[in-house]
Chains A and B, each alone.
Chain A
Amino acid sequence: MIYDSVIIGGGPAGLAAAVKLAEKGYEPVIIESRDRLGGIPLQCIHPGFGLHLFREDLTGPEYIYRFIDRVEELGVKYVLEAYVEEIVNYSMISKKVRITSPRGVEVVEGKTLIYAAGARERTRYEIGLPGPNAAGIYTAGEAQTMMDMYGVMPGKRVLILGSGDVGLIMARRFVLEGAEVVGVVEILSYPSGLVRNIVQCLEDYGIPLYLQHTVKEIRARNGRVSEAVITRVDENFKPIPGSEFTVDIDALILAVGLRPRVKLLKELGVRIDPNSHGPVVNDWLETMDAPGVFVAGNALMINDYADYASMQGYWAAESAIEYIENKGLPSTRWRRVVPGENTRLVVPQYLSGLRDAWLYLRVSTPLENARLVIPGLGREIPLIHALPSLQLRLMLRREEILRAGEEVVVEAVKD
């Protein structure tokens, strides 16, 4: 059996791709490593999902069950508890995926492949937080899984490191379960999360937010984290001596960012963009190094919303259909997208000029009353209030792209 597409990952991106393919009469198969479909939203019992895609405020499970139910209705095939050992890019129209599952070792073949394996969380070791290796130090995702999938309290006096939406939502989550959150610590001078979340998750519960602070040291007693030493930092993020204070805690939750999970893509020879930490793709979301391999969701770049991950899933599915029908995508001269001044990342990294395309991007520093400029296209968009933590999105028309030269520089300029 050769499927039209092998989809790796059954979260918002992978499920959306599967639904789109099946609705158009194609036959995908989903390979999912956990014992159920759904991905991260399964463990996000708070609202904030679906605003962009459904214009409704849903919880994570409500959001994702719209896709899961549809997958079941359409009779899409899936393999659970499947571990992908290797992806082989055999030919333009054959991608072979070797998997292990409780069914045994098997090779699943597709004409295309959609990679939607999501992200992993950064750990304390990665950000260089020394100290004892003790119980009670968890990433936000692990803490959330403990609480909302398995009913386990990770701690009752909690400090949170990182003020992105994930950290803020976890702060509230802990309070709602009766724990005390002693604070949220953020190394930057501004919070990374949405203003809405600052108000609804911290201010409403009187949780202190320590901006321009970091955790310098942790201590443990009896095998469990017991104290955190918090310090102010200067503009270079160096601790300011004398500014330290100590808080008693029994859990430290790290919400210090996510990274696209790209190991399998790397092994396939796909280039990784050092800015997005995801693969280098074109405006079909096809990797530039492996034709017929498409990437969507947090495996492509870290998205603020599951909705965006799903939209990228639709996009990848439509691309796959075009690919299947033509046994490949058209030959073209690529225009490279380059992040310019004040711009941290832009995805996709290549534009064909043969189609309209969404650009997803982030600025590299907070900007007030600035403009997003793409000089080559003569495009300008006002940025009233931009933060690196806010993902921006804009649509480029094919005609505009055609105006560009070999490089399309995207930059944010202050007035």
Chain B
Amino acid sequence: MRIVVIGAGITGLSIARVLTRYDNLEVVVVDKNPDVGWGVSKANTSIIHPCHEEDPDKHPLRTKLCLEGHDKWYEWTRELDIRVKWPGEIMAATSEEEIRVLEHYYELAIRNRVPGVRLLRGEELFRLEPTLNPEVIAGLYAPSAGTIDPIGACIALAENIVDNGGRLLLGRRVKGIRVGDYRVLGVETTGGFIQADLVVNAAGLYADEISRMAGISDYTIHPRRGQYLIYDRTVQPKPSRIIHSAPTQKTKGVYLVNTVGEVLLVGPTAEDLPSNMRDANYTTREGLEYVLKQAMKLIRKLPPRELVIRTYAGLRPEPSTGSFILRFHEDPWGFIEAAGIRSPGLTAAPGIAGYIEKLIREHVELKPREKWNPYRRDITRPKMLPATERNRLIRENPDYGRIICQCEGVSLGEVMEAVKRMKKIGVPEVTLDGLKFRAHIMVGRCQGTFCRPLTSFILQERLGLEIWSLKFNLEGSFYGVGRVKDLFKKPVEAGEK
């Protein structure tokens, strides 16, 4: 039988991966974007939470899946060669009142059986993290916290799904769910009808819209924006642990994260926006100021503004129910929801996948495959290799010796490998963001001012595409508006629309 997963974010892809283990399931993932992970999953804080912030009384299922997800990431990141590190985190308190918050989470840590959590003060605290602001009076240390490359994880999952016989149909928006005889029959997309016996709604911010297409309207989703700044990798001091402020009702507080890319990430805000602002993923002056003000309380010295290399914003899909919505519907039969996947959805994703698998198994008999490949290798990164290995690689393919990104030392070989891998998972056309997320060009100090035109030119030579018509990401985001001199010849069409 065929199962269509709507949404190639961390949730949908985790579910799809787990389901490729079964012989009698044909797995198809559909996404409106031309690549994977471009929804909520690309713009977040990247933390694999220890899960002592989850209240098991209020959200028992979420707590359970967060804990399961956290532990599964230990394995999944190895199997799939995903960039991750496990520095642990410190929840910092600057007042007696906040210490009480810390104590509350300490209690939850014990209840949730989160390992190794300790309340620290004074010398012990500052030895653990010397970059803390001296005003910090106590910290709740949770050694199991990790930070992951969230979009790298989506890409890895997608490649692994394809390796195991699953399919991705990208660049197709779901417009409707066809239902007949009280069961789902398939999904209507901008690229045509896709028959399906089971449909999983993992559409992130838009999950309520998809549910409505299947006649389910008992919840809504609104965006809660989070804004971030990224500092250059060279800034000092750079904390080695994840540092964050004590969470409030609404937010998990502001974080300082030395990411897997070794840049310093600072954020987010928590701004509730009306549900018609689901494309408001832009930063504002006020939002960034707020983040900086909060961060200043946590770290000894915040780097100068000049060393900010990028700012961005993400939108949390907040369900009106407050909790994850994970259901197998009897009417229409076969419609499954993995909706309202708000924070800590990234952490919980493998746990959610296991839960959805269980729901399906309760309704359908699943036959495990004999051969299933849990492994996937990342793109070859010459700069991580010893010189002799690198030389061998360059001799075989000189592109690995052509460094096109001066900031991060990325070679053309990596870019071309990224192109190949995009084709493999069914990315309809090469985009600049697709290359950025895979080869890690355009992410350093100069933000692509050197390597973007160069890469575009090389792609023109090798793939025969027009430089100007390369897109950053979405429809309309063309690099240029046409060729030089063309403006005199004819009105330019690109970029209009």
Contacts and interface: CB of A to CB of B under 8 A. Distances in A.
Contacts of B484: 147, 151-153, 177
Nearest to B403: A83
A85 interface: yes
B481 A155 contact: yes
Given A83-B406, A222-B497, A152 B449 contact: no
Interface in A124-164: 125-126, 128, 130-136, 138-139, 141-142, 145-147, 149-156
Contacts of A241: none
Interface stretch (A98-106, A192-200, A284-292, A357-365): A98-106
Nearest to B308: A125
A165 to B, nearest CB: 18
A130 B446 contact: no
Interface in A85-140: 85, 100-105, 120-121, 123, 125-126, 128, 130-136, 138-139
Given A104-B395, A126-B308, A223 B487 contact: no
B497 A142 contact: no
Interface stretch (B186-194, B278-286, B365-373): B278-286
Contacts of B283: 130-132
Contacts of B305: 126, 128
A223 B474 contact: yes
B228 to A, nearest CB: 11
Contact of A152 (B229, B446, B483): B483
A251 B391 CA distance: 42
Interface in B375-410: 382, 387, 390-391, 394-395, 398-399, 401-403, 406, 409
A339 to B, nearest CB: 19
A22 B219 CA distance: 76
Contact of A142 (B401, B449, B473): B449
Given A150-B453, A151-B483, A250-B495, A100 B478 contact: no
A55 interface: no
Contacts of A188: none
Contacts of A156: 481-482, 487, 492
Interface in B301-345: 305-312
A178 B487 CA distance: 6
A247 interface: no
A33 interface: yes
Interface size class of A (residues with CB under 8 A): 35 or more
A22 B401 CA distance: 28
B287 A134 contact: no
B479 interface: yes
Given A100-B403, A130-B288, A222-B474, A125 B311 contact: yes
Given A125-B310, A135-B478, A153-B481, A145 B402 contact: no
Nearest to B482: A153
Nearest to B391: A104
Interface stretch (B44-52, B115-123, B464-472): B464-472
A153 B475 contact: no
A24 interface: no
B403 A152 contact: no
B402 A152 contact: no
Given A100-B401, A101-B401, A104-B394, A222 B309 contact: no
Given A153-B482, A156-B492, A222 B468 contact: no
B312 A250 contact: no
Contacts of A104: 390-391, 394-395, 401
Contact of B477 (A105, A149, A152, A224): A224
Contacts of B409: 83, 85, 100
A132 B492 CA distance: 24
Contacts of B460: 150
30 contacts: A34-B454, A81-B402, A100-B390, A104-B391, A104-B395, A120-B446, A120-B450, A123-B309, A125-B447, A126-B305, A128-B288, A130-B284, A130-B287, A132-B283, A135-B476, A142-B453, A146-B467, A146-B480, A150-B456, A151-B467, A151-B483, A152-B479, A153-B487, A154-B480, A177-B484, A216-B285, A220-B282, A222-B475, A263-B445, A266-B234
Interface of B: 229-230, 234, 281-285, 287-288, 305-312, 382, 387, 390-391, 394-395, 398-399, 401-403, 406, 409, 411, 445-450, 452-454, 456-457, 460, 467-468, 471-488, 492, 495, 497
Given A125-B447, A126-B305, 9 more contacts: A104-B390, A126-B309, A135-B471, A135-B477, A152-B456, A153-B468, A155-B480, A178-B485, A223-B471
